[in-house]
Amino acid sequence: MKMYKIGSEILSIDSIREIINNDLKLSLSSKVKSQIRDCRKYLDKKIHESNDPIYGINTGFGSLYDKKVDMADLGQLQKNLVLSHACGVGEEVPFEIVRLIILLKIQSLSYGHSGVQLETVERLVDMYNNRILPIIYQQGSLGASGDLAPLAHMSLSLLGEGEVDILENSNKPNYKRKKISKVFRDLKWKAITLQSKEGLALLNGTQFMSSYGVWSLIKAKKLSYLADLISSISIDAFDCRNEFYDKLIQNVRPHKGQLKTANNLEDFLKGSEIQSKIKNHVQDPYSFRCIPQVHGATKDVISHVEQVFNTEINSVTDNPNIFINEDKIISGGNFHGQILSMSMDYLAIALSELASISERRTYKLISGERDLPPFLVNDPGLNSGMMITQYTAASIVSQNKQLCTPASVDSIVSSNGQEDHVSMGANAATKLYTVINNVEKVLAIELLNAVQALSYRKDVSSSFIQSMVKEYRKDVSFLNQDRILSLDIENSISFLQNLDIDAELI
């Protein structure tokens, strides 16, 4: 059984992609187990030695911080916290994001600064490995006191409360909804009895925001590569010149993303007969000529945001934090998602530009210019061809513009004024998720049009592009006459999703 050992190395976006793609099981290193046990032992000792108020451990929460709780009720306090905070509403969080939430919560608790029982963390590991996924809702977090509502719904399952989706058949993924109490009976598991601090450790944290960000970065890196690949097909389909991706131009403005994009275009188009032909036109439109600059800018943003998230997923983000060696329990604000919120807003803007410039290339491809038939179909007039595919792309691009209004500039007071500045990172996260899926759709539409347009060229493109087109044509055939194109777009999206790209290329 392939395994990833928590605590064996620094977690990264790339290593998470490997965990997901290879369906690795999780385990805890011996070092992590010791850290968790030692922290729990220290906290128990501290509580029994002192009657001083310690936020969230023997006091109420939020603006109830000044309400002392009796020693006998500390466990019930934590259970009540989970139950009362399970206030999520809206659409359910997708399966792949829920798994990431569990993974990242395990990682954050593994450092021994949170005071949880080892049994609690091990149960989260078991849930991940058995694909037992709590029902979590997209709305409810302000992204500041941690992702309270979403993480409460995750934590309900530990208590034997609520429902979960559980994988029934690993060969053909099929999730079935069950009461967690039944799952516990089937697996002979007992519900976790929370000890002091544990509910707070589970609910405080940025794992809802972080999981959406990690998923988005993994997909963003692939889409950035695909945008270069699809645009290279469009370059030949629109009979573009080859100067704009020349290394000489890039080297006098050497942004890393720009250099990478230009290099990709050169690799994809190497050996193209269309590129080697003498052109009648002196320049190409910006949507083609500025591909290195626009796609490259997105790559640089992805790189920046990846650095932010690589730090975040290796951090402790609950509150208060316990420091054994220093004999301190410190209440602070590591749960505040401002840096994630701002980064995800930035990433959404960057990715939306991939769709924006893609739609412009689609517009040019169907325009009837450069010896291409209007709307890329035989007998235009009788047939509308690809006309409305551009409308669809334009509507998606416009929606992305609306979604790219930053969430991070907003705030709202909560908890009777105690929590008076929040990040709105959860809203940034779910907006980003929608933007990324929209970008994929727009690129799929460009691919549909680019391959169709390329079919009208007498000269051939590069061997790499010819190979790509051949595979694509197995899923989407040439458009001879009008047909239902939503099916072609769906197949085009599926084609992109199923493309297996070497991680080193992206």
**Catalytic positions, please?**
55
Write the single-letter amino acid at 385.
G
Of the chain, the end-to-end C-alpha distance in Å amounts to 28
Burial of 1 (0-12, 13-18, 19+ CB in 10 A): exposed
Which residue's entry shows tokens 């909804």?
177
Exposure string over 182-200, b if 16+ CB within 10 A, otherwise e: ebeeeeebeebebbbbbbb
Which of 2, 12, 1 lies closest to 503, judged by CA?
A: 12
Q: Which residue has the tokens 């599926």?
A: 494
Give the phi and the psi of residue 214 in degrees, each rounded to 5. -65, -50
- Examine residue 320 and say whether the peptide bond preceding it is cis (omega within 30 degrees of 0): yes
**CA 281, 284, 285, 287 torsion: positive or negative?**
positive
Tracing tokens 């002979």 back to the chain, one arrives at: 188
Rounded to whole angstroms, the Cα distance separating 417 from 48 reads 32
Q: How far apart are CA 189 and CA 344, in angstroms?
A: 38
Q: What is the four-CA torsion angle of 419, 425, 427, 429, rounded to 10 degrees? A: -160
Distance of alpha carbon 372 from alpha carbon 271, whole angstroms: 22
Q: Which of 357, 330, 340 is nearest to 429 (CA)?
A: 340
| DSSP string across 147-215 | SHHHHHHHHHGGGT-SEEEEES-SSS--EEEEEHHHHHHHHT-------TTHHHHHHSSSHHHHHHHHH
